[in-house]
Every structure is written in C-alpha cells, then in structure tokens.
Structure 1
Amino acid sequence: MRSSLKRAGPPVLIALVALLILPASALATADDLKQAVDGNLGDTVPINTMWVVIAAVFVLLMQAGFAMLEIGFSRGKNAGTGVAKILTNLSIAAICYWAVGFAFAFGSAEVFGIGSILGSNGFLLQFSGNGSEAFPVMGLSTATVEAKFLFQFAFCAVSLAIVWGSTLERIKYGAYVIYAIVFASIIYPIGSHWVFGGGWLQTGDTGLLPTGMQDFAGSTAVHLIGASGALAALLLLGPRKGKYG
C-alpha cells in the first residue's frame, strides 16, 4: 500500500492543487452576487438555489461510496490509487467540465449554429446578463447557473467513476487521468447535451423520437455514457491474463 501511495504522490498533489483552484474558477461570474447585493434577485432564487446545492452534495457523496466499494474490491497495494482517482474526479475533471464541458452540454448555439449536436456558448462559465440566455435549458428554474453547474458536474463525475470501477487494477492511474480529461471535456458533455441540454434527442428534431427523449434520472446521459466508456476500455484491455487458460 505504501508503494502505491508513493507512486500516486505527484498526481495526487496535482489533483489537490486543482481542487483548491476550482472554487475560485467556478465563482468567476459575479452577476448573481451583484444582483443579490442590490436586492434584485427574485424571491424564489435563494430557496431553489439552496435545494439544487443540497441535491448536488448528495450526488457528490456517491464518490465516497465509490471509493469504499472500489477499494474494498482492490488489493491493499492499490488502495492509494483508488483515492487518487476520486481526487481526480473532483479536481482535474471538474476544471475540464468548468472550462468547456458545461458549455458543450448546456450552452446556446449562437456562435456556430450547431445546437442539435453541442452547445457553443458560455465557456469558462462566462456569460453576461441573464444566464438563461447563455444556457437556455438552465432557465427552466430560478436557481442560479453556478448552482446548476455544480449539480450537473456531480453527475459527470458519477458517470466518469463507472469507467474506473470496471477497469479496477487493470490500467495505470496516468491513463485514467488522460481519459478523465477527455471524458469531462468532450464525451460526457456532448452525450448529455443530446439528452439534457436541448440537443437533437431531447427536441425530437428527427423522426426517430418525434416527441423528444425524456431522461429524468440520467439512465442514459449518466449511466449509459459511463457504461459505454467502460465497455470500450474493456474491449481494448481484453480478458484478464490467465482467466481463460
């Protein structure tokens, strides 16, 4: 176990630094704060925002469950890597989702006009004026965009965790970091945009789903995307050595 912690030392340090940077980055937009100071926030904004944040915290607590489950299935020497993976989910992947992932998932398509495929506005969580203009789907409730970002990232982290659990003790930690960056920046945001963010599946732009797709609990946008990534990884890895003789 000590050797595992020693090997994971530098990546864990990077993850911790990123974890410290994230709060300042996520709160870069000050529009809601200014409105609160000026007394211009709607009456329902505080209670709705508080509820979204509480819900996000409950989802984030799933990472603790993943840690216990995965470390319990691992040998002692790999326990440190399991902890490093959780830190990666909540730091490096979080910054990637803040920088581009949330914009791809929920941003409007004013820039390139490709809204049915991915969003193209609101990168780095930057927008001016009403957040519902930059993130149209986010306008369905009065909770602040920052709170909704936290909630949506929590599900991105859950989907990402599925991949690690299926490749337990079979890939190096560095490979997981690379995959986490790609997953949180591109794979999950585009898939969730189709289902949650006003993409072609949700709007019913094709004859395949004329009434639009409904995915209230994330069985497709969260679990299927994560499971598909896990299946792809397992197909690349192949069976465990010696498993079939």
Structure 2
Amino acid sequence: MDTMFLMNSLWVMLGAILVIFMQGGFILLEAGSTRMKNAGHIAGKTVFTFGLASLAFWAVGFGFIFGENGNFLVGLSHFFYSGYEIEGMNLSSSVFFLFQLAFAGISIAIALGGFAERAKLSVYLVFTILFSALVYPVVAHWIWGGGWLSEHGKQDFAGSTVVHLTGAMAAFAATILLKPRIGKFNKDGSANNIFGHNQVFTALGVLILWIGWFGFNAASTVAVDDGFFGFVALNTNLAAGAGAVAALLISWIVLGKSDVTTMLNGALAGLVAITASCAFVETWAAVVIGFIAGIIVFYSVRFFEKRKIDDPIYALSVHGAAGVWGTLSTGFFATPELATVGLPGLFYGGGFEQLGVQFMGVAVSGVYAFVVSFIILAVTKKVLGGLRVTEEEEIMGLDMSEHGSYGYPEVFQDKGEKVSS
C-alpha cells in the first residue's frame, strides 16, 4: 500500500478525533454558560445528539453531500456507507467519512445552542435527525460536494459557511420559535443578565475547542505531502489569538471592564472567521480577520439582545456573524498564490467578483438553513404539541424535569422545589 496513502489516512484520522473531541468543548462551554440546574441535561443531550447525528449522516447525509450521479442540489449515492473505498481519494474513504461526520456533528451542536434551557428533549431528537439529513448536507454539497456554489468558485476551506453559519441560522430559527427564557427580558424590553454557573468550565471549553480547531482546519488539507497543514494551523492560531485580544480590548474600552465572557467569545469568533480563509490568506491577513471578528462579536451580542433574541451561548454572534465575516474575508484577502479555489480577493487585484460569489454563498446558504430549520421546527411544534417545556419544568430545571436527576445532586438534594439559578 502506498506510503502517502497511509500517512494521509493517519493525519485525517487524527483530525477526525480532534473534531469529535470538540463535542467535549461544547459540553463545557454550553454547560458553563448556562445555569447549574440544566448542566446534566446539557452534557447528556450533547452526547445523545452526536450519536443521532452520526446515524443520520451515515444513512443519508454523506450520500447527499458526496454522492455520485447527483445534481447541483444534492448527491444521490453512497447512502448507508459500508466502508468501501471511493475512487479518487489518496486516503482511506472510511477515514474521510468519519472526518466529514465529525463536521456534521459540530454544526448540529452549534444549532442546538439556540434551544438551551427551554426545549423538550423530544425536540432535540426530531430536529437533530432532520437537520443532519436535510439541512447541513444540502449546504455542504453546494460548496464541498460539487454543487452549484462550488461551480461558481465559492471559497470555504473548512466551513465558516458550511458548518458555522448553517448551525447558527438553525439556532436563530429555534430562538424565534422557542422565545426567550423566563426572566430574560422585562416588560419594557430591557434585558436581564442570566449568568452562566461556571466561567472556568466555559474557559476550558473554549480552550478544548481551540485545540480541536487544528483538526478542523489543518486536517482539511486531507494530505501531508507538502506540509501545508502547518501553514493552515498557523493562520488558525493567529486569528484565534487576535480575536481574543480584540474582544477583550473593546469590552474594556466600552464597558470599563475587561469582560471574560466577551474575550472567550472573541477567541471563538476568530476561529470561526479564519475557518473559511485559513488556506487562502497570508499570516498578516489572518491576524486582521481574527481581530475584526473579535470586535464584531462584541457588538453582535448587543445587537441581538436589543431585539429580544435570547441566545444563551451566543451562537448567532460567534458562529453566525463571525461566520459571515470569515466567508466574506476571502473576497478581500485571498492571494493569487493561495487561491486554489475561486479567484484572488479585492486587495490582490481580483476585483469584486470573488467577493460577490462569497456574498451570494452566504446569503443563499443562510436563508436555506434558516427557512428549512424554521419549517422543521414549526411542524415539530404541531406534531409534539409544543417545543418548550412547561413554565414549572423550566423553573425546576431540565436536569430534573427531563431526566429525573440533577447534574449537581449534592447542591440540590433536600431542597425540594427551591432551585438555584
């Protein structure tokens, strides 16, 4: 067997493991950013929904993305993938499948952030299956699987649009239909802070995601022969660092305090933004992209809150707004030498053509993900008799109301209905 085939397979397998381990980062990030009475539920549903997404992706998702005999909308083969080798790959097809499955799992994890602290577990079940079969794979085929956006030269190396914007728009649909958590907004429209119960968990979750992103971006080279994955990893790290610094500075300037949550969101925003462009831009541009993302996320959080959108883990800002910026950024910064897909950006003599393609891709993909997710949730609401737990169950906490036990039993035992917020 060819040595390079084995090396590529090993590298992408490592990337798949890193991306799957990002689910652990989401557990800590989401649990830490929400209240103690929901921590066990959040941890459990993350594992449960990744399992569901894996099965849906195996059954139809992979085939809709990469299937042959398809069209500009979806692929039409490779359903119920059984491990056979696919022609044209210089690595194990099973490893490639697992790597792509890991990406689908991240997108649904982002989407479900919009459900936090108020959705029924049955809603998670239905939505995860349908999102993993009908929403994510379609956008992924358009851009990565030979669909119509790829024919236009849409640049999205590792998924600022495919993974992050798609998940964020689904989260947006959920926040609208579920409505805000009890106590989030006052009658006059002003917002109350509902603080997460463990900022250390949140910070550790961000660090795990940061490390996992080296699998996300660098392993998307799916090859090791020229060492280019190192350059991709370098750009990824620089953007994350710039995002963290920018977000901390802007919060310090505007609020008078260097807000830790904002800084953590800034690091993630930098990572999300560089995901589209990490292979297409120079290192200095990666710093600029990450820095701007850190500023964008600060103002985006406030923008949505003023419009009474309750987004507990800031999916719309971190993955949505930063995903849009990251996708558009290649239209400015992609260099002639690195733009292996599409055209150079505006700042490198490419004019507005690539920027227009990027904008079109963002708009169409975002609208599709939002509309289809909204329809899925609206129909689910009718079928299940509602998306949201009762007021009593929400106040009690989803740990007890959905699972019958608390994630922190020592804190809550013998307290009856008195639940810490």
TM-score with structure 2 setting the length: 0.42
Within 2, Cα distance between the matches of 1:240 and 1:89? 22
Q: Is 1:131 aligned to residue 86 of structure 2?
A: yes
Q: Is 1:106 aligned to residue 71 of structure 2?
A: no
In the other structure, the counterpart of 1:15 is: none
Corresponding residue SS for 2:166: helix
Query: 1:118-154 deviations in whole A, cap 9, x for unaligned?
Result: 00001111486x512xxxxxx3x41111101111111
**For 1:216-231, what aligned pairs fall within 5 Å after superposition?**
216-231=157-172
Runs of at least 5 residues in structure 1 that lack an aligned partner in the other structure: 1-40, 133-138, 205-211
Corresponding residue SS for 1:123: coil
Give the % identical residues.
Answer: 41
Within 2, Cα distance between the matches of 1:53 and 1:179? 28
Q: CA deviation at 1:72?
A: 1.0
Query: What one-letter code is carried by the residue in structure 2 that aligns with 1:43?
Result: T
In the other structure, the counterpart of 1:43 is: 3
Query: What one-letter code is carried by the residue in structure 2 that aligns with 1:227?
Result: A
Within 2, Cα distance between the matches of 1:180 and 1:214? 27
Change (3 A) 1:168 1:56: same
Stretches of 4+ moved more than 6 A in 1? none
In the other structure, the counterpart of 1:69 is: 29
Query: What one-letter code is carried by the residue in structure 2 that aligns with 1:63?
Result: Q
Runs of at least 5 residues in structure 2 that lack an aligned partner in the other structure: 188-421
Within 2, Cα distance between the matches of 1:56 and 1:120? 24
Asked if structure 1 preserves the Cα contact closer than 8 Å seen for 2:68 and 2:76, the reply is: yes
Within 2, Cα distance between the matches of 1:43 and 1:62? 29
The number of equivalent residue pairs is 186
Query: 1:46-85 deviations in whole A, cap 9, x for unaligned?
Result: 1110000001111111111100011112322222211222
Within 2, Cα distance between the matches of 1:168 and 1:154? 21
Larger Rg: 1 or 2?
2
1:155 corresponds to which of 83, 99, 103: 103
In the other structure, the counterpart of 1:244 is: 186
Asked if structure 1 preserves the Cα contact closer than 8 Å seen for 2:83 and 2:94, the reply is: no
Query: What one-letter code is carried by the residue in structure 2 that aligns with 1:237?
Result: L
- Aligned Cα root-mean-square deviation (Å): 1.6
Query: 1:81-135 deviations in whole A, cap 9, x for unaligned?
Result: 11222212331110110011000011112xxxx421000001111486x512xxx
**For 1:1-245, what aligned pairs fall within 5 Å after superposition?**
41-109=1-69, 114-126=70-82, 131-132=86-87, 139=88, 141-204=89-152, 212-242=153-183, 243-245=185-187
Q: CA deviation at 1:167?
A: 2.2
Within 2, Cα distance between the matches of 1:57 and 1:126? 20
Query: What one-letter code is carried by the residue in structure 2 that aligns with 1:118?
Result: V
Query: What one-letter code is carried by the residue in structure 1 that aligns with 2:125?
Result: V
Within 1, Cα distance between the matches of 2:28 and 2:39? 10
In the other structure, the counterpart of 1:27 is: none
Q: CA deviation at 1:241?
A: 3.8
Query: What one-letter code is carried by the residue in structure 2 that aligns with 1:229?
Result: A
